[in-house]
Amino acid sequence: MKARVGVGEEGDRLREACGVFGIFGHARAAEQVYLGLYALQHRGQESAGIASSDGHRLACHKGMGLVSQVFTGDAMAGLAGRSAIGHNRYSTTGSSSLVNAQPIVIDFKRGPLAAAHNGNLVNAGPLRARMEDEGSIFQTTTDSEIVLHLVARSKHEDLADMIAEALEQTVGAYCFVFLSRDRLIAVRDPYGWRPLCLGRLGDAYVVASESCALDIVGAAYQRSVEPGEMAVIGRGGLKSRPLSAAPRRALCIFEYIYFARPDSWVFGQKADKIRRALGWQLAEEHPASADIVIAVPDSANTAAIGYAESSGIRFEIGLIRNHYVGRTFISPHQHERDLNVRMKFNPVTGVVKGKRVVVVEDSIVRATTLRNLVRLLRSAGPAEVHVRVSSPPIRWPCFYGIDMSTREELIAASHSVEEIREFIGANSLEYLSVEGMLKVVPTPADMCTCCFTGDYPTPVPEHFTKDQFASDRPSRSAPAGTESGGEGEARP
């Protein structure tokens, strides 16, 4: 599933993509998955779930909320076995409801099968429409369930062959972990949009969206699961097989900029290293006459340190973030959005008062949160506020896992940098260039930058909404201009 642009408490902050975790061959498999999901909580906070296998049956527990809220009391007691998979969800396709929580568990001709998915399939609309016309009945409104229907339709005898055939019919971003009675199968799409890594914990194999989840269980990081690789893990060990190759690689550069935890290995690199280099490049392109550099915590911390190092301007903690404030449910009127920002952040008056301040942010979507944050900062009395952004302007929708599907919700799609500066109330505003961003990543030709450039690696749907499979969606025969077709997720 994909990251979402929220309206309430954090306004235009990008949301994380979903997180997946799996382990095979450990006596307390479900406990390890629980810990792994805890480390991946930043990738999804709507729901969490774990499915386990004892070699004979699959058990599953899932619910709405954080990992610590879903797995309380005796929730872990029924998750026996030496293999398990788990999922943290942030909805990018399908509504935020229990029916869409993962892992999804089915029982079909090859026995029980559980699946957890991170990503978005851009051709899910036509696939689901075809299967519904042929009589398929869907229980969820996610694109993930479509793949399970395709698996069940396969004529192959072996489960790995069935999964491979199903995925060959899809287009878009996915990291899947599947669990049967006796195998764990992890697959990454041939473009490689989302990260997936492989580790070892004693004799057990572990797969996770990010390496920070390996660290928490004490597993040793081995490597990334390669784009287009299927890792089939069973009693005989791990066997790797390729899917059909994609025309190019398209690794999501936002994993480096924002999504991944800075201590994680992503696409073979430490996210912290790349973010610091983005800050260095930003300072080189857009210096500022200032006294201190501060970050919008926490995702911009490392880029701000890089900016300070390169510019020679002292880094300070100028904003404190309250980590104990969850999502709020008050109405999204302007004064209430202002309150949400004050609940999340507080300026350190003694640090910023009378100072010329550089505020480093990692990205701007709508700019509403940043505007409120600049107002809050000005209340502490800085002499000047200069905003520097460690990514280029976001001008195009994403259909591969970030919940922003229309240009209307992107301020940079319709406003100049100067207009955005005026809107947020900063003395100056500058973004990192696309060329500068690509200069600091190890394999620039492999990066997907479509949200900055409009250069999409695949055909994309003309109409694309998060709730396209909802029961009250318009008929597929609706006239042009109404909401129909397309796959993926996004909306403000």
Lowest-confidence segment of 201-205, 328-332, 433-437 by average pLDDT: 328-332
pLDDT for 77-87, tens place per residue? Answer: 999 999 999 99
Task: State how far Cα 75 lies from the chain centre.
Answer: 26
Radius of gyration of the chain measured on its C-alpha atoms: 22
Q: Give domain 272-441's CATH number out of 1.10.3470.10, 3.40.50.2020, 1.10.287.3510, 3.40.1260.10.
A: 3.40.50.2020
Tokens of 73: 């009391």
60 is catalytic: no
Mean pLDDT of 330-354: 76
Q: Give domain 3-246's CATH number out of 3.30.1330.40, 3.40.50.1860, 3.60.20.10, 3.30.565.10.
A: 3.60.20.10
Lowest-confidence segment of 16-20, 115-119, 161-165, 479-483 by average pLDDT: 479-483
Lowest-confidence segment of 55-69, 257-271, 401-415, 425-439 by average pLDDT: 401-415
> With 90 as the cut, is the pLDDT of residue 253 above it?
yes
- Domains of the chain, by residue range, sit at 3-246, 272-441
Catalytic one of 18, 212, 398, 451: 18
Higher pLDDT, 265 or 479: 265
pLDDT, position 60: 98
Going by pLDDT thresholds of 50, 70 and 90, the confidence category of residue 403 is confident
Alpha helices in 80-195 (DSSP H): 124-133, 144-153, 159-168
Higher pLDDT, 333 or 430: 430
> With 80 as the cut, is the pLDDT of residue 455 above it?
yes
Residue keyed to tokens 């004892």: 54
> With 50 as the cut, is the pLDDT of residue 1 above it?
no
pLDDT for 172-207, tens place per residue? Answer: 999 999 999 999 999 999 999 999 999 999 999 999
For residue 415, give the DSSP letter: S
Task: State how far Cα 475 lies from the chain centre.
Answer: 30
The kind and range of the H/E element at 389 are strand 384-389
Cβ atoms of residues 251 and 192 within 8 Å: yes
CA atoms within 13 A on the CB side of 66: 11
pLDDT, position 9: 37
Mean pLDDT of 132-143: 93
Concatenating the DSSP letter of every residue in 101-131 gives -SSEEEEETTEEEEEEEEEEETTHHHHHHHH
CA dist 69 to 41, 46, 101, 261, 451, Å? 12, 11, 14, 22, 34
> With 70 as the cut, is the pLDDT of residue 3 above it?
no
- The whole model's pTM is what? 0.89
Cβ atoms of residues 148 and 105 within 8 Å: no
> With 90 as the cut, is the pLDDT of residue 325 above it?
no
Lowest-confidence segment of 124-133, 207-216, 270-279, 316-325 by average pLDDT: 316-325
Higher pLDDT, 378 or 477: 378
